[in-house]
Amino acid sequence: MHSNVVLGTAVAVVAAAYAFKPKKSKTDLEAKSVPVPELPSYLPLQLDTTFSYIVSTLAGKDEMEYLRNMTSKYGNTVNFRGFNEDFIVLLDPSSIQHILAKNQPNYEKGSDFQDIFHEFLGSGIFNADGETWKTQRQLARPHFQTTEFRDSELINRHVDQLLRIIDRDLTANPDSPLEVQNLFCRFTLDEATDFLFGDSINSLEHENSEFSQAFNYAQSITAWRFRVPIWKYVLPTKKLLKSIETLDKFVYKIIDKAVARQEERERRQSSDEAGTKDEGHATLLDHFLSHQKENNFVDREYLRSMLLNFLLAGRDTTASLLTWTMWYLSQHPDVVVRLKQEIMQVVGPIAIPGYDDIKKLKYQKQVVNEVLRLRPPVPFNPKQSVEEDVLPNGYYIPPKTKVAYSAYVTHRLPELWGKDADTFDPDRWGPERVGSIKPFMFVPFHAGPRICLGQNLAYTTAQVTLTRLLQNYEIQPTPGFQPEPLGDIVMFSRNGVQVRIRKKNLADAI
């Protein structure tokens, strides 16, 4: 039988089954609340709305703007129902606060989310709920305390390498624009692997490393699983599993080295070498390994999942922030002038900025926050309800229902941010106006109990890097270039981000 006939028959059977499925009686809570408005659909299983979105994405259209247009038509709480499954998107700050803080235990990652990420991330913190998540977060928190990177030494070491690579590219191609998205992805991959593993990938020097290519592919195909409800039947898995094998090969080597390092440390402590100076500082991996050693076991698979989870959370988010910052600066020379003036006053033209310097760069922090508002690194965040619930606006949430918020759309709502919500304006974060920004209007790092552990590290990395770039280079637009925003797991540009960079000393530029 022809495959199209089989597919058509299957869809018809499923549609009929849903059409004649007996309706459940309403609960008391449901009867007293309001159902979330659904996106209009005219075909069984909402095939028209589901496939229009997929086709739009495949055509390269901006997914976040698609979502924004739909919510502007149908309201700030909308049910994007597909294949007869609810998918509720909410945008107002009170509802975001409800699911992330006030009633956070009722909104988990959920089984569907975990199924999508399982091969890639296992049971790591990004993909975990309940006690598994709590345990990993408690163990990781000390490593992300400000004191771990207060002197910015690790960050500056990798910025040194970044500047060398930029100088090399400028020497080889002085008249060509620089593709900064790829550059920053490599930079933050090196920094993150060093910070988390104690062993850098060195992808700045080796652009097409197997690890970085495998990591990028695993993330890309996993993102498509969110877009395609029947992903198990239509998306490739063979190449994904090969990519994960490449990741595992590298990560397990790192774990084995850490185990050997700990065993050597224990040997020294039990011998005459106890007073020998220990090499380096403890990595996140060392923290987790020490905890396992205390319990007399080493679970290499658990450690592998933990490392890849923190790498995903830390590497691409900071790369996204730096990429979009460079784009906005290339479009706003007046902002660059103010940034450079502040750097000259606080740091100087050539001094290496430390943590204390960064805290004094107030206008720079405003610029970074405005980039995070317009291009939040995680533009869309899905959850799943455990029990039925009612949002502060009165809408009913059924149990076991997908619920998501979009920082991208909330950050651009005119009723929250004014008529200039789409305008890049760092002064909205200045002392005169910042008081109008209320809680949960601005959620680039999530919020509530699951707020990003690496938030301070991301700010510090971005500001140290930005300071040193502006000490050394002029940033100019690339005529005719426009980025194509991609609302993936992390917000990047489909065609990269090109800016022109010219070598110039900060003191000569202002």
The answer to whether position 53 is within a domain reads: no
pLDDT value of residue 363: 98
Between 394 and 208, where is the model more confident?
394
**Contact indicator for 251, 348 with CB cutoff of 8 Å:** no
Residue 6 has pLDDT above 70, yes or no: no
**What pLDDT does 202 receive?**
87
Strand ranges in 406-493 using DSSP code E only, listed in sequence order: 473-477, 485-487, 491-493
Q: What is the CATH number of the domain that holds 481?
A: 1.10.630.10
Domain for residue 36, yes or no?
no
**Which tops the pLDDT comparison, 58 or 27?**
27
Total domains, the chain? 1
- pLDDT score of 294: 72
The CA distances from residue 282 to 149, 158, 487, in Å, are: 12, 18, 35
What share of the chain in percent tops pLDDT 90? 49
Q: Which of 42-46, 118-122, 341-345 has the lowest mean pLDDT?
A: 42-46
Is 185 annotated to bind a ligand? Reply is no
8 A C-beta contact, residue 79 and residue 87: yes
| Domain annotation covers residue 406 | no
Average pLDDT over residues 207-224: 84
Per-residue pLDDT at 15 exceeds 60? no
* pLDDT tier at 9, thresholds 50, 70, 90: very low
Q: Are 138 and 284 in contact (CB under 8 A)?
A: no
Percent of the chain whose predicted confidence (pLDDT) is above 70: 90
Residue 3 in any domain: the answer is no
What are the two backbone dihedrals, phi and then psi, of residue 383, each rounded to the nearest 5 degrees? -135, 180
| Confidence class for position 3, pLDDT limits 50, 70, 90 | very low
Range of the domain at 240: 109-270+281-376+411-509
Contacting residues for 20 by C-beta, under 8 A, at least 6 apart: none
Note the pLDDT of residue 131.
87
Q: How confident is the model at residue 474 (pLDDT cuts 50, 70, 90)?
A: very high
Q: Which of 196-210, 220-234, 449-463 has the highest mean pLDDT?
A: 449-463
184 within a domain of the structure (yes/no): yes
- Identify whether 204 is part of a domain: yes
Helix or strand holding residue 21 (H, E): none
pLDDT for position 266: 75
Decide if 275 is inside a domain: no
Task: Give the HSE-up count for residue 443: Cα atoms under 13 Å, Cβ half-sphere.
Answer: 28
Does 180 have pLDDT greater than 60? yes
| pLDDT for res 268 | 78
In this predicted structure, the answer to whether residue 163 has a pLDDT above a threshold of 60 is yes
- Per the model's pLDDT, the better-predicted residue between 191 and 507 turns out to be 191
328 within some domain? yes
* Mean pLDDT taken over the chain: 86
Q: What pLDDT does residue 24 have?
A: 67
Rounded mean pLDDT of 260-285? 68
Residue 302 and residue 311 in contact, taking contact as beta carbons nearer than 8 Å: no
* Cα 130 to Cα 175: distance, rounded to the nearest angstrom: 54
Burial label for 175, CB within 10 Å (0-12, 13-18, 19+), is: exposed
